[in-house]
Amino acid sequence: YNDSIWSEWPESLSKREEYALKTIRELERDRIEYYVFVQYIFDQQWKDLRKYANSSKIKIIGDIPMYVDYDSADVWSNSYMFQLDHNDTMKPIFVAGFPSDQGSNKGQNWNMPIYDWNNDNVRKDLFDWWIKRLRRKLSTVDFLRIDHFRGLISHYVIPVDIITQEPNTTEAYWVKTPGHEFLTAITESLGSHIPIIVEDLGDLKPEVFELRDHFHLCGVRILQMGFYSDSTNIYAPHNYIPNSVAYTGRAHDNPTILQWWTEEASDKEKHQFIDYIRRPVEGDKELINGLELEKHLDKHICWYFIQILFQSAANGAIIQMQDLLNSLTRMNIPGTGNLYRHKL
């Protein structure tokens, strides 16, 4: 259908009527079987790659988003589990997003449909779908990071105009999510010690940490965010907890460490960092010889961050490649497009 989105297909297909599905499967048998074969080959190659990595004592961390794209097999085949205009267009009536914060002062419109979390008629099916999704993903990686964990406490909904299909960000609001019930279903099916890392960042409420800790889930700490307030800041290294993974920066969403230090860090953040480290990284002869500390850090800031990260109480540490290479190449700016161009 000329790459049109599924809601613009013939109604019998967009609404998955059995006869229409049977007919298209017969008509497109060769094409369907080709893609089944390609996915099978990829699956085998991935298993071989993971086996090789594990044999070299390397574990793979996967990533799974909270939401899925509207024009996806997930939404098409499970449309009743999403908040769509089921009486007419089958287009989203709400889309996901996030209000303005430190990462994006204009807020974010992710333009992805919202799960119908609070509909008693679909909740069990929605939970079962998530269980299958997580089980499949966990079969391909050693650890799995779940994005936007905060969305399991409440999710930010942006109303969509039914006629113009334009999201109305000025009318957006938070809606409670049955996160405790959801994670109970997950742990009952997949076990209580799932190798999951949750991104517990952004506009956090105490309930977010309570939910995380109740299910013994591993959270994240961002060192780059540790120097903008006082010593109670949860991102300051001395406040890290063992059941967490510490990042130099917020991986893809933050500036690289060098970029942050030379272009974005405030004087307050720089002074707090300088007061915090108190001593040079082992082997910094230039500093010992009297080079001005801030200029010294313009060259060596990444290694200070890396050392602090590995000395923290966090059980895991993640350093993005740009920070290892002392690079200014930022991966992503939230709420904008045409990014993810960094290649190694």
pLDDT (0 to 100) of residue 7: 95
Q: Are residues 68 and 192 in the same domain?
A: yes
Q: Are residues 203 and 80 in the same domain?
A: yes
Number of domains, the chain: 3
Q: Are residues 51 and 40 in the same domain?
A: yes
Q: What's the rounded Cα separation, in Å, for the pair 274 and 2?
A: 58
For residue 83, pLDDT over 80 is answered with yes
Catalytic residue among 63, 69, 74, 147: 147
Sign of CA dihedral 217, 223, 228, 229: positive
For residue 122, pLDDT over 70 is answered with yes
Q: Are residues 187 and 224 in the same domain?
A: no
Catalytic residue among 116, 200, 253, 323: 253
Domain end marker among 217, 234, 257: 217
Domain end marker among 217, 237, 261: 217
Q: What's the rounded Cα separation, in Å, for the pair 197 and 133?
A: 16
Domain end marker among 217, 233, 265: 217
Give 91's pLDDT tier (boundaries 50, 70, 90).
very high
Active site residue 253: yes
Q: Are residues 116 and 191 in the same domain?
A: yes
Active site residue 71: no
Q: Are residues 173 and 256 in the same domain?
A: no
For residue 290, pLDDT over 50 is answered with no
Each residue of 293-342: pLDDT tens digit? Answer: 777 788 889 999 999 999 999 999 999 888 888 888 777 676 666 666 66
Each residue of 169-215: pLDDT tens digit? Answer: 889 999 999 999 999 999 999 998 999 999 998 777 899 999 999 99
For residue 289, pLDDT over 50 is answered with no
pLDDT (0 to 100) of residue 250: 64
Q: How far is CA 281 from the centre of its chain?
A: 32
Each residue of 99-120: pLDDT tens digit? Answer: 876 656 677 899 999 999 999 9
Q: Are residues 107 and 206 in the same domain?
A: yes
147-177 burial: b if 16+ Cβ within 10 Å, else e: ebbbbbbbbbbbbbeeeeeebeeeebeeeeb
Strand 154-159 to 94-98 pairing: antiparallel
Q: Are residues 90 and 43 in the same domain?
A: no
Q: Helices in 86-171 by DSSP H: which ranges?
A: 123-138
For residue 20, pLDDT over 70 is answered with yes
Q: Are residues 283 and 326 in the same domain?
A: yes
What's the chain's average pLDDT? Answer: 89
Collapsing DSSP states into helix, strand and coil, what is residue 245?
A: strand
Give 277's pLDDT tier (boundaries 50, 70, 90).
confident
**Mean pLDDT of all residues in 123-139:** 98
Q: Are residues 76 and 205 in the same domain?
A: yes
Q: Are residues 77 and 209 in the same domain?
A: yes
Domain housing 295: 218-344
Q: What's the rounded Cα separation, in Å, for the pair 158 and 79?
A: 18
Q: Are residues 208 and 181 in the same domain?
A: yes
Collapsing DSSP states into helix, strand and coil, what is residue 239?
A: helix
pLDDT (0 to 100) of residue 214: 96
* Verdict on whether the full-model pTM lies above 0.75: yes
